[in-house]
Amino acid sequence: MRVLIPLPDRDFDVTEVSVPWHVLTRTGHEVVFATERGTAASPDPLLVSGLSARLLVAPEVREIHRELSRAPEYTKPIAWDDIVPEHYDGLLLPGGFTPGVRQYVEGTVLRRKVAQYWALNRPVGAICHGVLLLARTIDPATGRSVIAGKRTTCLPKHMERGGYLLLTPWRRIPHFQTYRVCEQDEVASVLNDPAQLALGPLLPRRGQASDERRGFVVQDGKYLSARYPGDAYLFALRFEQMLR
105-126 residue pLDDT tens: 999 999 999 999 999 999 999 9
For residue 91, what pLDDT band results from cuts at 50, 70 and 90? very high
- Return the minimum-mean-pLDDT range out of 87-96, 197-206, 207-216: 207-216
User: Between 215 and 45, whose confidence is greater?
Assistant: 215
- Closest Cα partner for 77 from 38, 109, 114, 42? 38
pLDDT at 143 over 70: yes
Q: Which fold has domain 2-242?
A: Rossmann fold (3.40.50)
3-state secondary structure of 89: coil
Q: Which of 1-5, 49-53, 135-139, 140-144 has the lowest mean pLDDT?
A: 49-53
What type of residue is 195?
A: A
| Per-residue pLDDT at 206 | 77
Give the range among 26-40, 71-85, 192-206, 220-234 with minimum mean pLDDT.
192-206
Model's pTM, two decimal places? 0.93
Cβ partners under 8 Å of residue 125, min gap 6: 20, 90, 91, 92, 93, 223, 224, 225, 226, 235, 238, 239, 242
Q: Where does 10-155 show beta strands of DSSP type E?
A: 10-12, 30-35, 42-43, 78-79, 90-93, 124-127, 138-139, 144-145
* pLDDT of the residue at 39: 98
Q: pLDDT category, 161, cuts 50, 70, 90?
A: low
